[in-house]
Amino acid sequence: MTTDTAPKPSLWNRLAHPGQFVALTRSWLWPLTIVTAALFAVGLWFAFFNSPEDYQMGDTVRIMYIHVPTAWLSQFVYGIMAVSAIGSLVWRHPMADVSMKAAAPLGATFTALALFTGSLWGRPTWGTFWEWDGRMTSTLVLLLIYLGIVALWRAFDDQLRAARVIAVFTLVGAINIPIIKFSVDWWSTLHQPSSVFTMRGPHMPPSILTPLLVMAIAFTMLFLTLHLKAMHTEVARRRLMALQRQAAQTGASA
Amino acid sequence: MIDLGPHAVFIIAAYAGVTLAVAALIFWTLFDARRTASKTAALEARGIRRRSAGPAA
C-alpha cells in the first residue's frame, strides 16, 4: 500500500487527538472573539438605546437582557458537560474529558450571574431579592453541583481517573436540568413561566425580543470562545504535567 | 446616559456585576493559558522533552 492510498483519518479521529484538535481549532479563536465583541456591541446598543421600557416592569426589563442569557447558559453549559461525560464514558474520547473540565468553571460563573441578576431584577419586581421557590432553589442547586465538580477536578492528581468519576457525577446531576426547566410549571412560584420558547411562539414584542436574542447569541459565543481557549490550555496543562513527571523521574534516576 | 427610571441602581448594579465577572473570566482564562505556556517553556529550556518528541537537540 502506498502512502497515497492510505486512509485519511476521519474528523472524529483527528478531534480525538489533543495536538491535532488544538492545531485544527487554534485559528478559530480570533474570528470567534471578533464576532462575540460585535454581537455584544449591537446587543448593548439595543438594550440601552433602541428598546422600550416594559409597560409593567418599566426599565428593569433591561436586566432581562443579561439575566436570561446567563440563565440559558447555566443550563446549556451543563448540557455540554453531560454530552462530554457520555463521550468520556462511552468512547473514552480524550477531548471529552478536556471539554468537561474546561466548561465547569464557566458554567459556575454563568449560574452565579443568573442568580445575581435575577435577585436584582426580583427586588423591584417582586419586592424581594430571594424566594425559596422551585426555579431559584433548583438553580442554586445547579451552582452547588458546578462547584462540586470544580472541586472534584482539583481533588484528583490522576486526571484520567477523575474524568470517569466526574462523568458519572455529571450525568447524575443532569436530572436537575429538567427540574429547573419545568419548575415554573410544576410548582407555585414568583418566577414567570417561559416566554420565548413556547408552543404559541414568543410572548413579547419584537422590540424586546430582538435585543434579548442578540444578547443570548453574544453570551453563547462568549462561552464558546472561552471554552475553546480553556480546552487549549487544558491540553497544554496535561502536556506540562507529563513533562513535570518526566523531569521528576529524570531527577530521581540521576 | 439614558434615563433608567426609579430602579436605575438595580439595573446599573446588574450590568456592573456581569461586566466585572465576565472581565475576570476573560482575564483568568488568558492568565491560565500564559502561566501554563511559560511553565512548559521553562521545562523545555532545561532540555525536558516528551519521549514521543524524541531526544532534546
Amino acid at A18: P
pTM for the structure as a whole: 0.90
Contact yes or no for A247 and B43 at CB 8 A: yes
B57 touches chain A (CB under 8 A): no
**Chain B residues inside the 8 Å CB shell of A240:** 36, 39-40, 43
Between the alpha carbon of residue B21 and those of residues A74, A116, B16, B56, the distances in Å are 14, 11, 9, 42
A113 touches chain B (CB under 8 A): yes
Low-confidence ranges of chain A (pLDDT < 50): 1
Contact yes or no for B50 and A244 at CB 8 A: no
B53 touches chain A (CB under 8 A): no
Residues 51-80 of A with CB under 8 A from B: 53, 58-60, 62-63, 66-67, 70
B48 touches chain A (CB under 8 A): yes
pLDDT digits (tens, 9 = 90+) for A178-231: 999 888 888 877 777 777 666 667 777 888 999 999 999 999 999 999 999 999
Between the alpha carbon of residue A130 and those of residues A20, A72, A148, A179, B28, the distances in Å are 47, 19, 23, 19, 29
CB-neighbour burial class of residue A149 (10 A; exposed 0-12, middle 13-18, buried 19+): buried
- In angstroms, the separation between the Cα of residue A27 and the nearest Cα of chain B is 16
Contact yes or no for B17 and A237 at CB 8 A: no
Cα gap A204→A202, rounded to integer Å: 6
> Which one of B22, B28, B31, B51 would you mutate to disrupt binding with A, by most A Cβ within 10 Å of its Cβ?
B22
Contact yes or no for B14 and A121 at CB 8 A: yes
Q: Are A129 and A119 in contact (CB under 8 A)?
A: yes
pLDDT digits (tens, 9 = 90+) for B31-44: 999 999 999 999 98
Q: What's the alpha-carbon Rg for chain A, to the nearest Å?
A: 22
| DSSP class of A10 | P
Helix (H) or strand (E) run with residue A186 in it: helix A176-186
Contact yes or no for B14 and A247 at CB 8 A: no
Nearest beta carbon to residue B11 from set A60, A106, A233: A60
Contacts (Cβ under 8 Å, ≥6 apart) of A17 = A94
Between the alpha carbon of residue A12 and those of residues A4, A25, A48, B38, the distances in Å are 21, 13, 43, 30
Q: What's the alpha-carbon Rg for chain B, to the nearest Å?
A: 23
In the prediction, which pLDDT does B57 show?
A: 43
- In angstroms, the separation between the Cα of residue A246 and the nearest Cα of chain B is 7
ipTM of the complex in this document: 0.88
Low-confidence ranges of chain B (pLDDT < 50): 56-57
In the prediction, which pLDDT does A77 show?
A: 98
